[in-house]
Homo-oligomer: A and B are copies of this chain.
Protein backbone atom coordinates (compact mmCIF):
# COMPACT_ATOMS: atom_id res chain seq x y z
CA UNK A 1 0.00 0.00 0.00
CA UNK A 2 1.28 3.39 -0.92
CA UNK A 3 0.50 6.68 0.73
CA UNK A 4 -1.29 9.31 -1.32
CA UNK A 5 0.77 11.89 -3.17
CA UNK A 6 -0.66 15.30 -4.01
CA UNK A 7 1.21 17.86 -6.04
CA UNK A 8 0.68 21.58 -5.51
CA UNK A 9 1.95 24.81 -6.98
CA UNK A 10 4.94 25.56 -4.79
CA UNK A 11 7.05 26.58 -3.19
CA UNK A 12 5.88 25.70 0.28
CA UNK A 13 4.47 28.70 2.08
CA UNK A 14 2.24 29.94 -0.71
CA UNK A 15 -1.52 30.11 -0.39
CA UNK A 16 -1.74 26.95 -2.47
CA UNK A 17 -0.28 24.90 0.33
CA UNK A 18 -2.92 26.37 2.64
CA UNK A 19 -5.59 25.35 0.15
CA UNK A 20 -4.26 21.82 -0.01
CA UNK A 21 -4.46 21.56 3.77
CA UNK A 22 -8.01 22.86 3.65
CA UNK A 23 -9.06 20.33 1.04
CA UNK A 24 -7.58 17.49 3.07
CA UNK A 25 -9.28 18.72 6.24
CA UNK A 26 -12.66 18.99 4.51
CA UNK A 27 -12.25 15.47 3.21
CA UNK A 28 -11.41 14.17 6.68
CA UNK A 29 -14.52 15.76 8.13
CA UNK A 30 -16.61 14.18 5.38
CA UNK A 31 -17.67 17.67 4.64
CA UNK A 32 -18.88 18.96 1.33
CA UNK A 33 -15.67 18.37 -0.58
CA UNK A 34 -15.39 15.65 -3.20
CA UNK A 35 -13.19 12.80 -2.22
CA UNK A 36 -9.90 12.91 -4.03
CA UNK A 37 -9.69 9.39 -5.27
CA UNK A 38 -6.55 7.84 -3.85
CA UNK A 39 -6.56 4.48 -5.53
CA UNK A 40 -5.27 5.48 -8.86
CA UNK A 41 -2.95 2.60 -9.60
CA UNK A 42 0.51 1.99 -8.28
CA UNK A 43 2.74 4.99 -8.26
CA UNK A 44 6.49 4.95 -8.38
CA UNK A 45 7.66 7.01 -5.44
CA UNK A 46 11.31 6.81 -6.14
CA UNK A 47 12.07 10.05 -7.85
CA UNK A 48 11.32 13.37 -6.24
CA UNK A 49 9.43 14.76 -9.19
CA UNK A 50 10.46 18.29 -8.71
CA UNK A 51 13.67 18.21 -6.76
CA UNK A 52 14.52 21.80 -7.47
CA UNK A 53 11.48 23.48 -6.11
CA UNK A 54 11.00 22.31 -2.60
CA UNK A 55 10.86 19.35 -0.37
CA UNK A 56 8.10 16.84 -0.12
CA UNK A 57 6.22 17.16 3.16
CA UNK A 58 4.80 14.01 4.65
CA UNK A 59 1.67 14.58 6.72
CA UNK A 60 -0.11 11.47 7.90
CA UNK A 61 -0.26 9.26 4.86
CA UNK A 62 -0.31 12.15 2.37
CA UNK A 63 2.84 13.33 0.62
CA UNK A 64 2.61 16.95 -0.44
CA UNK A 65 4.82 17.62 -3.43
CA UNK A 66 5.52 21.25 -4.35
CA UNK A 67 6.13 21.94 -8.04
CA UNK A 68 7.35 24.98 -9.90
CA UNK A 69 4.55 25.46 -12.41
CA UNK A 70 0.95 24.48 -12.94
CA UNK A 71 2.00 22.64 -16.09
CA UNK A 72 4.32 20.39 -14.12
CA UNK A 73 1.65 19.67 -11.55
CA UNK A 74 -0.68 18.47 -14.28
CA UNK A 75 2.00 16.46 -16.03
CA UNK A 76 2.70 14.64 -12.79
CA UNK A 77 -0.98 13.77 -12.46
CA UNK A 78 -1.18 12.58 -16.03
CA UNK A 79 1.88 10.39 -15.64
CA UNK A 80 0.54 8.86 -12.45
CA UNK A 81 3.44 10.25 -10.40
CA UNK A 82 0.91 11.88 -8.09
CA UNK A 83 -2.73 11.14 -7.35
CA UNK A 84 -3.96 14.70 -7.63
CA UNK A 85 -2.78 18.28 -7.86
CA UNK A 86 -3.96 21.44 -6.15
CA UNK A 87 -3.58 24.72 -8.06
CA UNK A 88 -5.10 28.21 -7.98
CA UNK A 89 -7.77 28.85 -10.62
CA UNK A 90 -9.22 32.26 -9.86
CA UNK A 91 -8.62 35.25 -7.62
CA UNK A 92 -11.42 37.62 -6.71
CA UNK A 93 -9.23 40.61 -7.55
CA UNK A 94 -6.82 39.32 -10.19
CA UNK A 95 -9.22 37.10 -12.12
CA UNK A 96 -8.60 33.72 -13.68
CA UNK A 97 -5.21 32.07 -13.44
CA UNK A 98 -4.42 31.69 -17.11
CA UNK A 99 -1.79 29.01 -16.64
CA UNK A 100 -4.37 26.82 -14.94
CA UNK A 101 -7.21 27.60 -17.34
CA UNK A 102 -5.04 26.85 -20.36
CA UNK A 103 -3.47 23.72 -18.92
CA UNK A 104 -6.92 22.35 -18.12
CA UNK A 105 -8.20 23.10 -21.64
CA UNK A 106 -5.21 21.71 -23.42
CA UNK A 107 -4.17 18.69 -21.44
CA UNK A 108 -4.37 15.34 -23.09
CA UNK A 109 -5.44 12.99 -21.57
CA UNK A 110 -8.01 15.26 -19.97
CA UNK A 111 -8.06 16.14 -16.29
CA UNK A 112 -11.08 16.93 -14.16
CA UNK A 113 -11.74 19.05 -11.10
CA UNK A 114 -12.99 17.10 -8.09
CA UNK A 115 -12.96 19.71 -5.33
CA UNK A 116 -12.48 23.41 -4.76
CA UNK A 117 -11.36 25.47 -1.78
CA UNK A 118 -11.40 29.17 -1.01
CA UNK A 119 -8.50 30.87 0.79
CA UNK A 120 -8.70 34.47 1.93
CA UNK A 121 -5.59 36.18 0.63
CA UNK A 122 -3.84 38.39 3.16
CA UNK A 123 -0.41 39.90 2.95
CA UNK A 124 2.22 40.74 5.52
CA UNK A 125 5.45 42.65 5.17
CA UNK A 126 8.16 40.20 6.25
CA UNK A 127 11.83 40.90 6.92
CA UNK A 128 14.81 39.35 8.67
CA UNK A 129 15.19 39.83 12.39
CA UNK A 130 16.46 43.26 13.30
CA UNK A 131 14.88 45.10 10.40
CA UNK A 132 12.62 48.02 11.34
CA UNK A 133 9.89 49.37 9.15
CA UNK A 134 11.65 52.72 8.91
CA UNK A 135 14.74 51.03 7.49
CA UNK A 136 12.97 49.50 4.52
CA UNK A 137 14.10 51.05 1.21
CA UNK A 138 13.44 48.20 -1.23
CA UNK A 139 10.63 45.65 -1.10
CA UNK A 140 10.26 42.51 -3.21
CA UNK A 141 7.06 40.78 -4.26
CA UNK A 142 5.10 39.35 -7.11
CA UNK A 143 3.56 42.19 -9.17
CA UNK A 144 0.02 40.97 -8.37
CA UNK A 145 0.73 41.25 -4.67
CA UNK A 146 2.30 44.67 -5.15
CA UNK A 147 -0.81 45.79 -7.00
CA UNK A 148 -3.01 44.67 -4.11
CA UNK A 149 -0.91 46.52 -1.51
CA UNK A 150 -0.35 49.74 -3.41
CA UNK A 151 -2.31 52.02 -1.11
CA UNK A 152 -0.59 50.68 2.01
CA UNK A 153 2.87 51.08 0.44
CA UNK A 154 2.11 54.63 -0.62
CA UNK A 155 0.90 55.53 2.89
CA UNK A 156 3.54 53.76 4.98
CA UNK A 157 6.59 53.48 2.73
CA UNK A 158 6.40 56.43 0.33
CA UNK A 159 9.25 56.33 -2.14
CA UNK A 160 10.03 52.65 -1.55
CA UNK A 161 11.39 50.79 -4.58
CA UNK A 162 9.51 47.59 -5.40
CA UNK A 163 11.43 44.70 -6.88
CA UNK A 164 9.45 42.12 -8.89
CA UNK A 165 9.82 38.48 -7.84
CA UNK A 166 8.56 35.20 -9.32
CA UNK A 167 6.19 34.60 -6.41
CA UNK A 168 5.52 36.07 -3.01
CA UNK A 169 7.04 32.97 -1.48
CA UNK A 170 10.18 33.35 -3.61
CA UNK A 171 10.53 36.91 -2.34
CA UNK A 172 10.30 35.65 1.23
CA UNK A 173 12.66 32.74 0.57
CA UNK A 174 15.25 35.14 -0.86
CA UNK A 175 15.43 37.00 2.46
CA UNK A 176 15.93 33.73 4.31
CA UNK A 177 18.45 32.09 2.04
CA UNK A 178 20.79 34.79 0.80
CA UNK A 179 21.31 38.53 1.07
CA UNK A 180 19.21 39.97 -1.67
CA UNK A 181 19.17 43.57 -2.86
CA UNK A 182 15.93 44.20 -0.94
CA UNK A 183 15.02 44.64 2.70
CA UNK A 184 11.53 43.19 2.98
CA UNK A 185 9.04 40.96 1.18
CA UNK A 186 5.31 41.22 0.68
CA UNK A 187 4.16 37.65 1.24
CA UNK A 188 1.57 35.34 2.76
CA UNK A 189 1.59 34.90 6.54
CA UNK A 190 2.42 31.23 5.97
CA UNK A 191 5.52 32.14 3.96
CA UNK A 192 6.77 34.56 6.64
CA UNK A 193 6.36 31.81 9.19
CA UNK A 194 8.00 29.13 7.06
CA UNK A 195 11.03 31.28 6.31
CA UNK A 196 11.22 32.55 9.89
CA UNK A 197 10.77 36.19 8.99
CA UNK A 198 9.57 38.80 11.40
CA UNK A 199 6.35 40.55 10.44
CA UNK A 200 6.75 44.35 10.15
CA UNK A 201 3.07 44.88 9.23
CA UNK A 202 0.04 42.60 8.92
CA UNK A 203 -2.91 42.58 6.58
CA UNK A 204 -1.50 45.21 4.26
CA UNK A 205 -3.79 44.42 1.30
CA UNK A 206 -5.90 47.34 0.07
CA UNK A 207 -9.07 45.28 0.05
CA UNK A 208 -10.16 41.76 0.92
CA UNK A 209 -9.36 39.17 -1.70
CA UNK A 210 -9.97 35.46 -1.98
CA UNK A 211 -8.37 32.84 -4.18
CA UNK A 212 -10.18 29.78 -5.38
CA UNK A 213 -8.12 26.60 -5.63
CA UNK A 214 -9.07 23.33 -7.28
CA UNK A 215 -8.01 19.74 -6.83
CA UNK A 216 -7.51 18.07 -10.19
CA UNK A 217 -7.04 14.43 -11.09
CA UNK A 218 -7.52 11.94 -13.92
CA UNK A 219 -11.14 11.36 -14.92
CA UNK A 220 -13.00 8.86 -12.77
CA UNK A 221 -16.46 8.59 -11.34
CA UNK A 222 -18.09 12.01 -11.18
CA UNK A 223 -18.95 12.94 -7.55
CA UNK A 224 -22.65 12.66 -6.74
CA UNK A 225 -24.74 15.86 -6.86
CA UNK A 226 -25.17 17.67 -3.55
CA UNK A 227 -27.59 20.42 -4.66
CA UNK A 228 -24.76 22.92 -4.21
CA UNK A 229 -22.52 22.05 -7.14
CA UNK A 230 -20.47 23.77 -9.74
CA UNK A 231 -19.56 22.43 -13.19
CA UNK A 232 -16.57 23.60 -15.22
CA UNK A 233 -16.41 23.39 -18.98
CA UNK A 234 -14.42 24.75 -21.91
CA UNK A 235 -16.75 25.83 -24.71
CA UNK A 236 -15.87 26.68 -28.29
CA UNK A 237 -17.68 28.99 -30.67
CA UNK A 238 -19.29 27.21 -33.60
CA UNK A 239 -17.60 29.58 -35.97
CA UNK A 240 -15.90 32.89 -35.62
CA UNK A 241 -18.85 34.96 -36.71
CA UNK A 242 -20.63 37.85 -35.08
CA UNK A 243 -23.21 36.52 -32.71
CA UNK A 244 -21.43 33.24 -32.03
CA UNK A 245 -21.05 34.16 -28.37
CA UNK A 246 -24.75 34.96 -28.16
CA UNK A 247 -25.42 31.54 -29.70
CA UNK A 248 -23.26 29.88 -27.07
CA UNK A 249 -24.94 31.71 -24.20
CA UNK A 250 -28.34 30.64 -25.55
CA UNK A 251 -27.41 27.03 -24.88
CA UNK A 252 -27.38 27.89 -21.18
CA UNK A 253 -30.32 30.32 -21.18
CA UNK A 254 -32.58 27.88 -23.00
CA UNK A 255 -32.10 25.35 -20.17
CA UNK A 256 -32.21 27.76 -17.24
CA UNK A 257 -28.54 27.36 -16.37
CA UNK A 258 -26.73 30.28 -14.71
CA UNK A 259 -23.03 31.01 -15.15
CA UNK A 260 -20.76 31.91 -12.23
CA UNK A 261 -17.64 32.64 -14.31
CA UNK A 262 -16.94 33.11 -18.00
CA UNK A 263 -13.51 33.96 -19.35
CA UNK A 264 -12.34 34.06 -22.90
CA UNK A 265 -9.06 32.36 -23.69
CA UNK A 266 -7.31 32.39 -27.04
CA UNK A 267 -7.24 29.08 -28.85
CA UNK A 268 -3.79 29.99 -30.15
CA UNK A 269 -4.99 29.94 -33.75
CA UNK A 270 -4.74 33.73 -34.05
CA UNK A 271 -6.24 36.95 -32.71
CA UNK A 272 -10.00 36.81 -32.35
CA UNK A 273 -10.02 33.01 -32.03
CA UNK A 274 -11.40 32.26 -28.59
CA UNK A 275 -12.67 29.51 -26.46
CA UNK A 276 -14.47 30.18 -23.20
CA UNK A 277 -13.64 28.83 -19.79
CA UNK A 278 -16.94 28.62 -17.96
CA UNK A 279 -18.15 27.71 -14.50
CA UNK A 280 -21.84 27.07 -14.21
CA UNK A 281 -24.21 26.54 -11.35
CA UNK A 282 -25.26 22.88 -11.21
CA UNK A 283 -24.14 19.29 -11.73
CA UNK A 284 -23.80 17.21 -14.88
CA UNK A 285 -26.29 14.74 -13.42
CA UNK A 286 -29.00 17.42 -13.42
CA UNK A 287 -30.86 17.17 -16.75
CA UNK A 288 -30.74 20.95 -17.40
CA UNK A 289 -26.94 20.86 -17.12
CA UNK A 290 -26.61 17.66 -19.16
CA UNK A 291 -28.77 19.17 -21.92
CA UNK A 292 -26.76 22.39 -21.95
CA UNK A 293 -23.49 20.44 -22.16
CA UNK A 294 -24.85 18.36 -25.03
CA UNK A 295 -25.88 21.59 -26.77
CA UNK A 296 -22.32 22.92 -26.42
CA UNK A 297 -20.98 19.66 -27.81
CA UNK A 298 -23.18 19.99 -30.88
CA UNK A 299 -21.92 23.53 -31.47
CA UNK A 300 -18.39 22.18 -31.18
CA UNK A 301 -17.14 18.65 -30.49
CA UNK A 302 -14.04 20.27 -28.96
CA UNK A 303 -16.14 21.07 -25.89
CA UNK A 304 -14.37 19.81 -22.79
CA UNK A 305 -16.01 18.78 -19.53
CA UNK A 306 -13.82 19.74 -16.57
CA UNK A 307 -15.81 18.26 -13.71
CA UNK A 308 -18.84 18.70 -11.44
CA UNK A 309 -17.98 19.19 -7.79
CA UNK A 310 -19.40 20.78 -4.61
CA UNK A 311 -19.17 24.56 -4.32
CA UNK A 312 -16.83 25.69 -1.58
CA UNK A 313 -19.12 28.61 -0.74
CA UNK A 314 -21.94 26.16 -0.01
CA UNK A 315 -24.44 28.23 -2.01
CA UNK A 316 -27.45 26.28 -3.23
CA UNK A 317 -28.18 26.12 -6.94
CA UNK A 318 -30.62 28.68 -8.26
CA UNK A 319 -32.87 26.67 -10.54
CA UNK A 320 -35.79 28.42 -12.26
CA UNK A 321 -38.99 26.50 -11.59
CA UNK A 322 -39.40 25.48 -15.20
CA UNK A 323 -35.88 24.03 -15.43
CA UNK A 324 -36.04 21.60 -12.53
CA UNK A 325 -35.65 17.85 -12.98
CA UNK A 326 -39.43 17.43 -12.67
CA UNK A 327 -40.01 19.58 -15.73
CA UNK A 328 -37.56 17.46 -17.70
CA UNK A 329 -39.25 14.24 -16.70
CA UNK A 330 -42.69 15.64 -17.50
CA UNK A 331 -41.56 16.87 -20.92
CA UNK A 332 -39.98 13.53 -21.70
CA UNK A 333 -43.16 11.68 -20.78
CA UNK A 334 -45.26 14.11 -22.79
CA UNK A 335 -43.14 13.55 -25.87
CA UNK A 336 -43.20 9.80 -25.47
CA UNK A 337 -46.96 9.94 -25.12
CA UNK A 338 -47.23 11.85 -28.39
CA UNK A 339 -45.16 9.33 -30.25
CA UNK A 340 -46.78 6.25 -28.76
CA UNK A 341 -50.28 7.12 -29.82
Contact = CB atoms under 8 A, between A and B. Distances in A.
A92 interface: yes
A133 interface: no
A339 B299 contact: no
Interface stretch (A56-64, A78-86, A253-261): A253-261
A227 B270 CA distance: 22
Contacts of A303: 334
Contact of A210 (B52, B243, B271, B291): B271
B259 A253 contact: no
Nearest to A326: B298
Contacts of A253: 242-243, 246-247, 250, 254
Given A245-B249, A264-B264, A338 B254 contact: no
Interface residues of A, number: 87
Nearest to A241: B258
Interface in A224-274: 238, 242-243, 245-247, 249-251, 253-255, 258-266, 268-274
A297 interface: yes
One complex includes copies of this chain to the number of 4
Given A69-B164, A93-B268, A268-B92, A294 B331 contact: yes
A297 B335 contact: yes
Interface in A180-237: 207, 209-210, 212, 219-222
Nearest to A312: B271
Contacts of A284: 335, 338-339
A177 to B, nearest CB: 13
A30 to B, nearest CB: 23
A259 B240 CA distance: 10
Interface string A165-186: 1100000000000000000000
A296 B102 CA distance: 30
A25 interface: no
Interface of A: 52, 68-69, 71, 90-95, 98-99, 102, 143, 146-147, 150, 161-166, 207, 209-210, 212, 219-222, 238, 242-243, 245-247, 249-251, 253-255, 258-266, 268-274, 284-285, 290-291, 293-295, 297-301, 303, 305, 313, 318, 322-323, 327-328, 330-332, 334-335, 338-339, 341
22 contacts: A52-B161, A52-B163, A71-B150, A92-B269, A92-B273, A94-B266, A95-B98, A219-B341, A222-B339, A242-B258, A247-B253, A249-B249, A250-B253, A253-B254, A254-B254, A261-B264, A262-B264, A271-B313, A284-B338, A293-B335, A294-B332, A298-B327
Q: Please provide the 7 A-B residue pairs with the shortest distance between their CB atoms, ordered closest to farther.
A: A254-B254, A294-B331, A297-B331, A298-B327, A242-B258, A93-B268, A95-B266
Given A245-B262, A294-B331, 16 more contacts: A69-B143, A90-B271, A93-B266, A93-B268, A95-B264, A98-B98, A99-B143, A99-B147, A102-B147, A164-B166, A242-B318, A246-B246, A254-B254, A293-B331, A297-B327, A298-B327
